Amino acid sequence: MEIKNIDTARFGKIGVLMGGTSTERDISLKSGHAVLESLKKQGLDAVGIDIKTDDHRLAAEFIKSFGVDCAFVALHGKFGEDGQVQSILEGLRLRYTGSGPAASRNAMDKINAKKIFRDAGLVTPGQMIIEKRSFNPDTAFTPGVETTGERKFGPPWVIKPASNGSSIGLSIIDRQEDVVKAVKAALEFDDRVLIEEYIPGRELTVGILAEEPLCVIEIVTKHRFFDYQAKYEHGLTDYIVPALLDGETAGRARGAALTAHRALGCFGCSRSDMILDKNGRLYLLEVNTIPGLTSTSLLPKAAGYAGIDFDRLCLILLQSAYEKE
């Protein structure tokens, strides 16, 4: 990957947005503090901005009070990844890292994202949508009876909130009698729930940086799936960097990630999660527009394999804020 020289003098005062009020607040604080420490270590004028409200007016006033020239968005979860804070930053006429409001909103909404992926020719697991307003837990239903136009699907089922991250509220269910409980748990985090076909296979992820795909990483977890604990607790997951794949399969995975990134209209960086089944078919699961920047995070691992250390990665992401049209 060819990275141009970076003129850090143009950045001015940088505000690292972190925290938020979502279920991913703790992870966002970890990402934000890691970025802030890196920027300061490199001699940049940077300040942490811990967002503690999702009120647009209050958040705008709070951000404005710091007098920053550019925002480094490390705000995971709702308000940070769903386009809301991006809209606020545009209203303040501040440069910021990452994707714009529309791309962020589409990626965060897993139902919307899956339609966009399919329209772009990508394969995704079968799905069924449950809405809180019409969900009756006393009425028996069988996931997978409704189809995607391709196939019906039986258990196991992946049940998750339509808009959430870090696998929060996600369950894998093997028995019909456990479905309602899992749906109720997911509805605690969103008004819509996605019931997906469970695809057994190898978990892969591909980061996009400066509009180019990085190497494929394979995630090998001791848990059944890459859940919240497996993501953020040391020792529960192994990462194979790069994944041990033949060139053709690795190329398809990297191509799928870039297609998804472009189809959503993402900018600067993203990270696509996918499953490679036993027949070599790739299923695109979701795209993260603000990948984690913690010690166990995947984008920094992939960047590191490309010879880009964490400090350089932060500068590249900042530089992208000045390359938006």
Bridge partners, 273 (sequence order): 205, 286
Q: How confident is the model at residue 241 (pLDDT cuts 50, 70, 90)?
A: very high
Choice between 146 and 38, residue whose per-residue pLDDT is larger: 38
Choosing from 38, 106, 164, 166, the catalytic residue is 166
Choosing from 99, 288, 297, 320, the catalytic residue is 288
- Shared domain for 131 and 51, answered yes or no, is no
Residue 229: CATH number of its domain: 3.30.470.20
In a domain, 3, yes or no: no
Residue 322 annotated in active site: no
In a domain, 102, yes or no: no
- Shared domain for 42 and 81, answered yes or no, is yes
Residue 271 annotated in active site: yes
In a domain, 251, yes or no: yes
Main-chain dihedrals φ then ψ at residue 264, nearest 5 degrees: -75, -20
- End position of a domain, from candidates 172, 197, 222: 197
In a domain, 64, yes or no: yes
- Shared domain for 303 and 205, answered yes or no, is yes
Which domain covers residue 298, as residue numbers? Answer: 107-111+200-313
- Shared domain for 183 and 235, answered yes or no, is no
Residue 91 annotated in active site: no
- End position of a domain, from candidates 197, 229, 246: 197
Residue 286 annotated in active site: yes
In a domain, 116, yes or no: no
- Shared domain for 142 and 228, answered yes or no, is no
Choice between 79 and 136, residue whose per-residue pLDDT is larger: 79
Alpha carbons within 13 A on the beta-carbon side of 5: 2
In a domain, 322, yes or no: no
Residue 5 annotated in active site: no
Q: How confident is the model at residue 230 (pLDDT cuts 50, 70, 90)?
A: very low
pLDDT at 51: 97
Strand bridging mode 127-131 / 192-197:
antiparallel
pLDDT tens-digit map of 154-188? 788 888 888 865 567 788 888 877 788 888 888 88
- Shared domain for 138 and 72, answered yes or no, is no
In a domain, 179, yes or no: yes
Choosing from 232, 252, 254, 272, the catalytic residue is 232
**How far does CA 187 lie from the centroid of its chain?**
20
Q: CA 67 → CA 74, 138, 225, 246, distances in Å?
A: 18, 54, 43, 50
- End position of a domain, from candidates 167, 197, 227: 197
In a domain, 283, yes or no: yes
How many domains does the chain fold into? 3
In this prediction the pTM is 0.87
Residue 24: CATH number of its domain: 3.40.50.20
- Shared domain for 53 and 71, answered yes or no, is yes
- Shared domain for 72 and 175, answered yes or no, is no
- Average model confidence (pLDDT) across the chain: 88
Residue 211 annotated in active site: no
Residue 142: CATH number of its domain: 3.30.1490.20
Residue 220: closest CA among 205, 234, 202, 206: 202
pLDDT at 129: 83
Residue 273 annotated in active site: yes
Choosing from 273, 283, 297, 320, the catalytic residue is 273
